[in-house]
């Protein structure tokens, strides 16, 4: 059974929400992390509800509603969201209220909205969807868990599954991460991407051929798993036209391991757009779908230029701190 | 499609560490609700379901030497998981390709909330220990590493239904042939964050909670963990593993009514129970016992009662909530109550609903005695924030 991505929507630190302007003007960023370029939400979300929403909710809801609209789906068969840190802005607010009031009288609003499943719950509430509603919070595999669940649901007989990945950054969290002093990452970021998975495709669909998530691999194992993943789908490295990867640093040994076994293709680093965060890979998939549909990729993201000028098959590879690794295969 | 067998389970709650201590308390009407002694809250007047061991003592039980910066959530989870794996007689070699599905509401919040005041006044020295295991996924990763589980890992956070959803997903993976052995459940430690959160929502009972009582005032927060070992038919046959029960049904849905409150008519619970019955291919009258979510809040118990009434009509099975024993352990509650459901099948008894003096008038009265009964099918509800509703159905080994 085939699984099609029938629509996508992304909010990222570059212009990606408006597809006419997709990655057109390259924005340079100041500050400690790459901040998302958010659309004018009142055109997408009821302004009365908008006021209470934190940024992750706005980004998650706006991309989800847009993807549903583009796919012509009113009520999805399920709403599946992946988020690494969840509603961190409200979590922080409630924590700091607890500290400053010394556990005194507190407003519950931030607590209510701090729950990890707020984004998925809000989408269900806004569109009145009583179907299955799941939220995955599995570190560098939060989006991968959600995507795998979406694919499984198609195989179980559901249709039009909304799958989204969303994470927000705040100045305070950025400061904490900086103080944690990791040298594995050049720059952190944030954003949200949403997808509608369906059992039937059209001209504007891309097939999601497969996904695979693995933990705790060496560079050598990553090379082997990449080839194994392709051969599981009856493909070799020569069938791959573009490899979209998430590089944590410009020198990333895991990406070298991928390059070693898939040498002559166009290599693209989606984290030049997103920076690093726990669901950044969702944008990697969105970029892949966009590349297959438009047959173009922004030059800012290209690490190596391959010889092929038309793209049919794209491999997506990402890892988080060398622990969470994932592969995905897109085909047009 | 493969059956989904249960070959082991483990539990930690305010009733104690391990299945047998929990069972003895359930049978002995012994509630685990007390005043907090380990949780570093200023609300020492609020009753909670707290396990009376320090993190150091929990660490010793697990042979973990340095556990100052290990979340209590991970420690509780590991104790329950080790018991489940031992009961299932799973060896290290069996765990190579086993999957771990963990449900938790706030993950490592218990560690980060203690460090946060020092962040605010710029006096924190060691950031990594304080925050690197804050996220829910970090708990699962820590557990997988300790247990030497190398397969697929999932972490689910759907508030109070988190671990019920873990068990549901274990069933889905096994039925789809995507996994043979799954350790699924959930864990949540008490935290200052959640205690104050539920306090701000004004749904904490200042006394012991009274689920399904007309005068109920709210819930008591609890902590704990429970994990089940779920296996495919093939895996059970290969290992010759004794089967303790079967997961026959599961249903998830969203109430889509309010971010925190359940709908007055209990649509979410009604739909979830209906879906679970459909997957199990059972009629409502075939359910022998309902382990209700029954938190003790006005809203939940009303909504859940109406949902049960609507689905089961005049043929309502015996039911009880065990929350007055354990408190509401949030993300762990569904798995804890899954273990109680399996114990109810094993022991052929229904566990009592404590503290009911003036029963509500929507349903027949809940069971308040340790009542022997022929129990083959148990339905267990978990209903949470964000409208998340999940029902699981367990059956005796067929």
Among candidates B157, B197, B258 on the partner chain, residue whose Cβ is nearest the Cβ of A135: B157
Q: What pLDDT score does B259 carry? A: 83
SS3 call for B382: strand
B134 contacts in A (CB within 8 Å)? 85
A155 contacts in B (CB within 8 Å)? 176
CA gap B314, A261 in Å, rounded: 66
Among candidates B128, B138, B253 on the partner chain, residue whose Cβ is nearest the Cβ of A132: B253
Digit-coded pLDDT (tens) for A262-317: 998 999 999 999 999 999 999 999 999 999 999 999 999 999 999 888 999 999 99
CA torsion, ordered B172, A120, A56, A248, to nearest 10 deg: 10
| A11, A38 Cβ separation under 8 angstroms | yes
HSE-CB for A139 with a 13 A CA cutoff: 26
| B5, B236 Cβ separation under 8 angstroms | yes
| A240, A265 Cβ separation under 8 angstroms | yes
SS3 call for B160: helix
pLDDT averaged over chain A? 96
Digit-coded pLDDT (tens) for A10-34: 999 999 999 999 999 999 988 899 9
A129 contacts in B (CB within 8 Å)? 254, 256
Please indicate whether, in this complex, the C-beta atoms of B144 and A215 are within 8 angstroms of each other: yes
Please indicate whether, in this complex, the C-beta atoms of A98 and B196 are within 8 angstroms of each other: yes
Q: What pLDDT score does B60 carry? A: 97
Work out whether strand B377-383 and strand B388-395 pair parallel, antiparallel, or are unpaired: antiparallel
| B152, B95 Cβ separation under 8 angstroms | no
> Cβ of B387 under 8 Å from any chain A Cβ?
yes
Q: How far is CA A147 from CA A46, B36, B58, in A?
A: 28, 40, 36
> Cβ of B344 under 8 Å from any chain A Cβ?
no
Examine the residue annotation and report whether B328 is marked as an active-site residue of this protein. Answer: yes
Q: What secondary structure letter does DSSP report for B358?
A: S
Q: Which CATH number fits domain A209-331: 3.40.47.10, 3.30.70.3340, 3.40.50.300, 1.20.1090.10?
A: 3.40.47.10
Examine the residue annotation and report whether B293 is marked as an active-site residue of this protein. Answer: yes
CA B34 to chain centre: 19
CA gap A265, A238 in Å, rounded: 8
Please indicate whether, in this complex, the C-beta atoms of A98 and B140 are within 8 angstroms of each other: no
CA torsion, ordered B344, B175, B155, B20, to nearest 10 deg: 20
Interface of B with A in 285-304 (CB under 8 A): none
Please indicate whether, in this complex, the C-beta atoms of A152 and B178 are within 8 angstroms of each other: yes
> Cβ of B73 under 8 Å from any chain A Cβ?
no
Task: Give residues with Cβ within 8 angstroms of B236, minimum separation 6.
Answer: B5, B7, B243
Digit-coded pLDDT (tens) for A88-116: 999 999 999 999 999 999 999 999 999 99
- Indicate which residue of B67, B134, B146, B160 is catalytic: B160
Closest C-alpha to B299, from B335, B257, B253: B257
- What is the layout of strands, in order, in the sheet containing B33-34? B33-34, B48-49, B221-222
Region of poorest pLDDT, from A137-151, A204-218, B214-228, B254-268: B254-268
CA torsion, ordered B237, B238, B241, B242, to nearest 10 deg: 10
Over the range B115-146, which residues count as b (16 or more CB within 10 Å of their CB) and which as e? bbbebeeeebeebebbbbbbbbbbbbbbbbeb
CA torsion, ordered A50, A55, A60, A63, to nearest 10 deg: 70
Please indicate whether, in this complex, the C-beta atoms of B259 and A118 are within 8 angstroms of each other: yes
In sequence order, the β-bridge partners of residue A215 are A324
Quickly list DSSP for A92-153.
HHHHHHHHHTTS-S--SHHHHHHSTTHHHHHHHHHHT--SEEEEE--GGGHHHHHHHHHHHH
Region of residue A99 (phi > 0: left; psi between -120 and 50: alpha; otherwise: beta): alpha
| B191, B293 Cβ separation under 8 angstroms | no
Among candidates A99, A117, A181 on the partner chain, residue whose Cβ is nearest the Cβ of B116: A99
Task: Give residues with Cβ within 8 angstroms of A195, minimum separation 6.
Answer: A5, A7, A8, A67, A147, A150, A162, A163, A164, A282, A285, A286, A289
Closest C-alpha to B94, from B173, B181, B215, B9: B181
Q: Please give the structure tokens belonging to residue A242.
A: 């573009």
Q: How far B10 CA lies from chain A's nearest CA (Å)? A: 23
Please indicate whether, in this complex, the C-beta atoms of B132 and A149 are within 8 angstroms of each other: no
Q: What pLDDT score does B386 carry? A: 86
Enumerate the CATH 3.40.47.10 domain ranges in chain A, comma separated.
4-198, 209-331
> Cβ of B272 under 8 Å from any chain A Cβ?
no
A213 contacts in B (CB within 8 Å)? 152
Please indicate whether, in this complex, the C-beta atoms of B388 and A117 are within 8 angstroms of each other: yes
Closest C-alpha to B169, from B390, B340, B333: B390
Q: Is the pLDDT of residue A239 over 80?
A: yes
Q: What pLDDT score does A60 carry? A: 98
Closest C-alpha to A115, from B266, B160, B168, B301: B160
- Does ipTM top 0.85? yes
Locate the chain A residue with the closest alpha carbon to B42.
Answer: A103
- Furthest C-alpha separation in chain B: 63
A100 contacts in B (CB within 8 Å)? 120
Cα-flanking dihedrals φ and ψ of residue B263, to 5°? -65, 145
Query: CB count, 10 Å around CB of B160?
Result: 29
Among candidates A106, A113, A179 on the partner chain, residue whose Cβ is nearest the Cβ of B200: A106
Chain B interface mutation, best of A133, A141, A168, A170, highest count of B Cβ atoms under 10 Å: A133
User: Where does B202-297 have alpha helices with state H?
Assistant: 233-239, 267-280
SS3 call for B172: helix
In sequence order, the β-bridge partners of residue A192 are A11, A166
| A7, A196 Cβ separation under 8 angstroms | yes
Q: What is the mean pLDDT of each run of 10 residues along chain B (398 residues)?
A: 95 98 98 98 98 97 92 98 98 93 97 96 93 96 95 96 98 97 98 98 98 98 98 97 98 91 92 98 98 97 97 97 98 98 97 97 96 95 93 94
Among candidates B124, B132, B386 on the partner chain, residue whose Cβ is nearest the Cβ of A117: B386
Q: What pLDDT score does A262 carry? A: 96
Q: Which CATH number fits domain A4-198: 1.10.150.120, 3.90.950.10, 3.30.2350.10, 3.40.47.10?
A: 3.40.47.10
pTM as predicted: 0.98
Q: How far is CA B242 from CA A9, A332, B58, B238, B396, in A?
A: 49, 48, 29, 11, 12
CA gap B317, B319 in Å, rounded: 6
DSSP-based helix, strand, coil % in chain A, nearest 5: 40, 20, 40
Digit-coded pLDDT (tens) for A304-328: 999 888 999 999 999 999 999 999 9
CATH architecture, domain B1-385: 3-Layer(aba) Sandwich (3.40)
Q: Is the pLDDT of residue A185 over 90?
A: no
CA gap B338, B381 in Å, rounded: 9
């Amino acid at each position: 059974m085939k699984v099609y991505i029938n629509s996508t929507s992304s909010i990222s630190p570059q212009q990606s929400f408006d597809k006419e302007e997709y990655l057109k003007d390259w924005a340079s960023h100041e500050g400690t992390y790459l901040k998302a370029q958010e659309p004018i939400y009142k055109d997408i979300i009821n302004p009365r509800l908008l006021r209470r929403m934190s940024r992750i909710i706005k980004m998650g809801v706006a991309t989800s509603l847009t993807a549903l609209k583009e796919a012509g789906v009113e009520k999805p068969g399920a709403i599946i969201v992946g988020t690494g840190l969840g509603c961190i802005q409200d979590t922080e607010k409630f924590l700091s209220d607890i500290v400053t009031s010394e556990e005194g009288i507190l407003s519950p609003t931030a607590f209510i909205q701090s729950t990890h499943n707020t984004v998925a719950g809000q989408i269900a509430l806004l569109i009145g969807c009583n179907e299955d509603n799941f939220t995955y919070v599995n570190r560098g595999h939060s989006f991968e868990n959600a995507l795998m669940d979406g694919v499984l649901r198609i195989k179980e007989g559901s249709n039009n599954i909304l799958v989204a990945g969303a994470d927000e950054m705040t100045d305070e969290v950025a400061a904490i991460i900086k103080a944690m002093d990791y040298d594995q990452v050049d720059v952190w970021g944030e954003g949200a991407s949403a997808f509608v998975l369906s059992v039937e495709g059209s001209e504007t669909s891309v097939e999601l051929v497969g996904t695979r998530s693995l933990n705790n691999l060496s560079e050598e194992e990553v090379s082997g798993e990449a080839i194994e993943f392709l051969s599981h789908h009856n493909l070799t490295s020569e069938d791959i036209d573009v490899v979209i990867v998430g590089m944590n640093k410009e020198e990333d040994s895991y990406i070298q391991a991928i390059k070693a076994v898939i040498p002559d293709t166009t290599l693209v680093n989606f984290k030049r757009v997103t920076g690093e965060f726990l669901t950044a890979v969702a944008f990697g998939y969105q970029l892949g779908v966009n590349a297959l549909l438009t047959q173009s990729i922004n030059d800012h993201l290209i690490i190596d230029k391959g010889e092929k000028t038309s793209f049919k098959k794209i491999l997506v590879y990402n890892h988080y701190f060398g622990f969470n690794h994932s592969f995905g295969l897109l085909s047009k | 499609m493969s059956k989904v067998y249960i070959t082991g389970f483990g539990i930690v709650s305010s009733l104690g560490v391990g299945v047998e201590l929990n069972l003895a308390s359930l049978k002995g009407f012994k509630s685990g609700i007390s005043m907090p002694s380990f949780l570093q809250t200023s609300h020492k007047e609020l009753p909670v379901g707290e396990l009376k061991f320090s993190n150091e003592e929990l660490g010793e039980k697990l042979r973990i030497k340095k556990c100052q910066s290990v979340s209590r959530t991970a420690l509780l989870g590991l104790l329950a998981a080790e018991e489940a794996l031992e009961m299932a007689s799973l060896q290290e070699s069996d765990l190579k390709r086993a999957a771990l599905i963990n449900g938790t509401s706030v993950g490592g919040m218990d560690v980060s909330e203690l460090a946060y005041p020092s962040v605010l006044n710029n006096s924190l020295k060691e950031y990594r220990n304080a925050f690197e295991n804050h996220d829910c996924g970090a708990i699962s990763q820590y557990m997988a590493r300790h247990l030497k589980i190398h397969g697929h890992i999932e972490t689910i956070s759907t508030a109070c239904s988190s671990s019920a959803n873990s068990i549901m997903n274990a069933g889905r993976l096994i039925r789809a042939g995507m996994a043979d052995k799954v350790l699924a459940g959930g864990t949540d430690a008490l935290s200052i964050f959640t205690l104050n959160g539920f306090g701000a929502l004004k749904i904490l009972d200042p006394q012991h909670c009274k689920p399904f009582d007309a005068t109920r005032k709210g819930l008591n927060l609890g902590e704990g963990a429970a994990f089940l070992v779920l296996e495919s038919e093939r895996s059970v046959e290969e290992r010759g593993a004794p089967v303790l029960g079967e997961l026959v049904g599961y249903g998830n849905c969203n109430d889509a009514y309010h971010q925190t409150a359940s709908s007055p008519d209990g649509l979410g619970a009604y739909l979830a129970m209906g879906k679970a019955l459909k997957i199990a291919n059972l009629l409502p009258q075939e359910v022998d016992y309902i382990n209700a979510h029954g938190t003790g809040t006005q809203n939940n118990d009303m909504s859940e009662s109406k949902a049960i009434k609507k689905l089961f009509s005049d043929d309502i099975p015996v039911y009880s909530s065990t929350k007055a024993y354990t408190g509401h352990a949030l993300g762990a509650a569904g798995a804890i109550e899954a273990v109680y459901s399996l114990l109810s099948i094993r022991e052929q008894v229904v566990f009592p609903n404590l503290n009911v003096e003036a029963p509500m008038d929507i349903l027949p009265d809940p069971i308040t005695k340790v009542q022997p009964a022929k129990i083959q099918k148990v339905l267990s509800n978990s209903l949470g924030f964000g409208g998340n509703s999940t029902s699981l159905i367990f059956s005796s080994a067929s």
